[in-house]
């Protein structure tokens, strides 16, 4: 019997088409009367396709009594209740590793763009300020700066290996020390106090909610820069806005936000902040590879009850 798959979004058109060729796919985002659909079809669904951003709402999972597997597009799983999945024996896969390089490149891009004031400089050259006012204000060099990484996992390590040739020293904070030559800090405040650039590459979720707070931002200090490619939830955004207003820190480069896609307009008003629309993995090559891995995980489950990149 053809497996019934509930797709919570269109991962990539080509990959949604591949899934539809082989399975009986229902596009949940396109169904108008979701409750009536779940009453009629919820018990037939054995697999869900979702993404790190859409996650898996628990109330939806409750309506899928025969769910076996969730294949997610992305690496974060803070919007999937793993405990609820474990209790029900639902298996979950993500798309790790293949996005690491693009996300690390974006982190480095935001670090340079923030330190060297790329957006201000672009405007200076474009708008005629250069002609009218002369050279733009001097910026700060990356060389000899201390880069403090919060969460030295796959992406954090890729960021460190890219930053070191630019002449930075790396320190990090996480749940446990790693077998690396960088300095491990046992507290986040101590890392922030040491660092010139604080780089967030840890998971979102309850354990990291708001860990970048007023105290950590004060420790980072008035010449310090915050870069966040992790999750908006990791930063207390109100505290960040207050720190930027009060010049408690020097600037920020942000790919992720509290209430995406509704970026707080106050953040858009700071010229020492570089914004990017949660697009760190957003290249054609990486998104295609992620879409393929979602398909491959689904097929591996269908064929042999195994996942290629499981998290549980």
Q: Among 25-33, 43-51, 111-119, 198-206, which window interacts with ligand NAP (CB under 6 A)?
A: 198-206
Residue nearest to ligand NAP (CB): 153
174 vs 291 by CB, closer to ligand NAP: 174
Q: What's the burial of 39, exposed, middle or buried (CB within 10 Å: 0-12/13-18/19+)?
A: exposed
Binding positions for ligand NAP, 260-279, rule CB under 6 A: 278
Q: Which element (helix H / strand E) includes 70?
A: strand 69-73
Q: Is 232 in the site for ligand NAP (CB under 6 A)?
A: no
Separation CA 172–CA 4 (nearest Å)? 44
Q: What is the total count of residues that contact ligand NAP (CB under 6 A)? A: 29
Are the C-beta atoms of 61 and 38 separated by less than 8 Å? no
For residues 48 to 77, the per-residue mask of contacts with ligand NAP, x marking binding by CB under 6 A and - elsewhere, is ---------------------------xx-
Comparison of 46 and 93: residue with beta carbon closer to ligand NAP: 93
Distance CA(62)–CA(65), nearest Å, equals 7
Site string for ligand NAP, 73-102 (x = CB under 6 A): --xx-------------------x--x---
Residue of 45, 220, 230, 300 that binds ligand NAP (CB under 6 A): 230
Q: Provide the minimum distance between the beta carbon of 222 and ligand NAP in the complex, in angstroms, as a whole number.
A: 25
Q: Is 103 among the residues that bind ligand NAP (CB under 6 A)?
A: yes
Phi and psi at 150, nearest 5°, equal -100, 105
Sheet holding 91-93, edge to edge: 24-27, 4-7, 45-51, 69-73, 91-93
Beta-strand pair 251-254/24-27: unpaired
Asked whether the CA dihedral 79, 53, 304, 47 is positive or negative, the reply is positive
By CB under 6 A, residue 176 contacts ligand NAP: yes
Contacts of 47 (CB under 8 A, 6+ apart): 3, 4, 5, 6, 23, 67, 68, 69, 70, 71, 298, 301, 302
Candidates 88, 83, 82; CA nearest to 63 is: 88
Residue with Cβ nearer ligand NAP (203 or 310): 203
Residue 29 neighbours by CB under 8 Å, 6+ apart? 7, 8, 9, 10
Closest CA to 65 of 33, 88, 92: 88
CB of residue 99 vs ligand NAP: minimum separation in angstroms?
5
Interaction between residue 281 and ligand NAP (CB under 6 A): yes
45, 69, 155, 198: which one contacts ligand NAP (CB under 6 A)? Answer: 155
CA separation for the pair 24, 32 (Å, rounded): 18
Asked if 160 is part of the footprint of ligand NAP (rule: CB under 6 A), the reply reads no
Catalytic annotation, residues = 231, 260, 278
Work out which of 18, 109, 150, 216 binds ligand NAP, going by CB under 6 A: 150
Comparing CB distances to ligand NAP, the nearer of 120 and 308 is 308
Residue 88: CB minimum distance to ligand NAP, A = 23
Among 19, 256, 273, 307, binds ligand NAP (CB under 6 A): 256
Q: Which stretch binds ligand NAP (CB under 6 A): 55-63, 84-92, 146-154, 285-293?
A: 146-154
Q: Would you give the DSSP letter of residue 98?
A: T
Tell me which residues touch ligand NAP (CB under 6 A). Answer: 75-76, 96, 99, 103, 150-156, 174-176, 201-204, 207-208, 229-231, 255-256, 278, 280-281
């Amino acid at each position: 019997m053809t497996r019934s798959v509930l797709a919570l979004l269109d991962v990539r058109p080509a990959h949604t088409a591949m899934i539809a060729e082989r399975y009986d796919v229902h596009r949940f985002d396109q169904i108008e009367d979701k409750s009536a659909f779940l009453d009629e079809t919820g018990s037939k669904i054995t697999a869900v396709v979702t993404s790190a951003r859409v996650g898996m709402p628990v109330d939806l999972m409750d309506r899928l009594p025969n769910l076996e597997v969730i294949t997610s597009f992305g690496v974060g799983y803070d919007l999937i209740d793993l405990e609820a999945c474990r209790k029900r024996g639902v298996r979950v896969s993500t798309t790790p590793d293949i996005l690491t390089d693009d996300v690390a490149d974006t982190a480095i891009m935001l670090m340079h763009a923030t330190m060297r004031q790329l957006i201000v400089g672009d405007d200076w050259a474009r708008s005629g300020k250069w002609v009218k006012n002369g050279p733009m204000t001097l910026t700060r060099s990356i060389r000899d700066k201390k880069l403090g990484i919060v969460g030295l996992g796959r992406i954090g390590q890729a960021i460190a290996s890219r930053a070191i040739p630019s002449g930075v020293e790396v320190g990090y904070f996480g749940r446990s020390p790693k077998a690396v030559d960088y300095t491990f800090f046992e507290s986040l405040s101590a890392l922030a106090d040491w660092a010139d650039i604080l780089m967030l590459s840890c998971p979102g979720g309850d354990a990291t909610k708001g860990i970048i707070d007023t105290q950590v931002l004060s420790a980072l200090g008035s010449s310090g820069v915050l870069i966040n490619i992790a999750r908006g939830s990791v930063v207390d955004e109100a505290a960040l806005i207050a720190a930027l207003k009060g010049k408690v820190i020097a600037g920020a480069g942000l790919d992720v936000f509290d209430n995406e896609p509704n970026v707080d307009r106050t953040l858009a008003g700071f010229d020492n902040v570089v914004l990017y629309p949660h697009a760190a993995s957003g290249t054609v090559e990486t998104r295609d590879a992620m879409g393929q891995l979602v398909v491959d995980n689904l097929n591996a489950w269908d064929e042999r009850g195994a996942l290629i990149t499981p998290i549980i």
